[in-house]
Amino acid sequence: MTEKNEEREIIKELFISKETVTERLSSLVAACRGLLNIVQDSGEVYLEDSSNINNNEKIFLYLLGSYLAWKSGLKKEAGMSTSELAGKLGVPITTIPAPLNKLVEDKLIHKKEIGTYLIKFENHKLILDNLVKINKKRTG
């Protein structure tokens, strides 16, 4: 066995299959049903009845929807800007940083560049847990 093959054999314990990534994505999509919709032609994200959820949760859902729209090829960017999020929520842009900072702290999103945020897909378990929590809160 060559040195390169030996190294690959050692590192192989960290590999995941494309199927595993697909399963993770599928579980997130299933958990999003009833929470958000993505317009097929534009990638625009709309929330379902969101009257029982707070702005933190709405921002999280918009960012997740944006990521999924990007994954499906409907959007050029995976994230959203603070001004886009403020527009979606209908609130002043000055109210957006606090919920974003909380979501970053919770490791659900990260800052891509100044004023742009996106979902942290690598933390799919945390994302899924948060979706379950939002669903329970929304449905009572």
Give the model confidence (pLDDT) of 54-105 as tens digits.
999 999 999 999 999 999 999 999 999 999 999 999 999 999 999 999 999 9
Distance of CA 82 to the CA centre of its chain: 15
- Check which CATH number belongs to the domain holding 98 and give it: 1.10.10
Residue 8 lies in a domain: no
Residue 111 within a domain: yes
What global pTM score does this model have? 0.89
Range of the domain at 70: 16-139
Tally the C-alpha atoms within 13 A of residue 101's C-alpha that lie toward its C-beta. Answer: 5
Domain membership of residue 109 (yes or no) is: yes
Contact 138, 54 (CB under 8 A): no
pLDDT of 1 > 70? The answer is: no
DSSP element (H, E) containing 8:
helix 3-11
Token pair, residue 17, equals 């299959």
Number of helices followed by number of strands (H, E) in the chain = 6, 5
Place of tokens 């599928």: 26
What mean pLDDT, rounded, does the chain reach?
Answer: 92
Q: Which residue has the higher pLDDT, 12 or 96?
A: 96
Domain total of the chain: 1
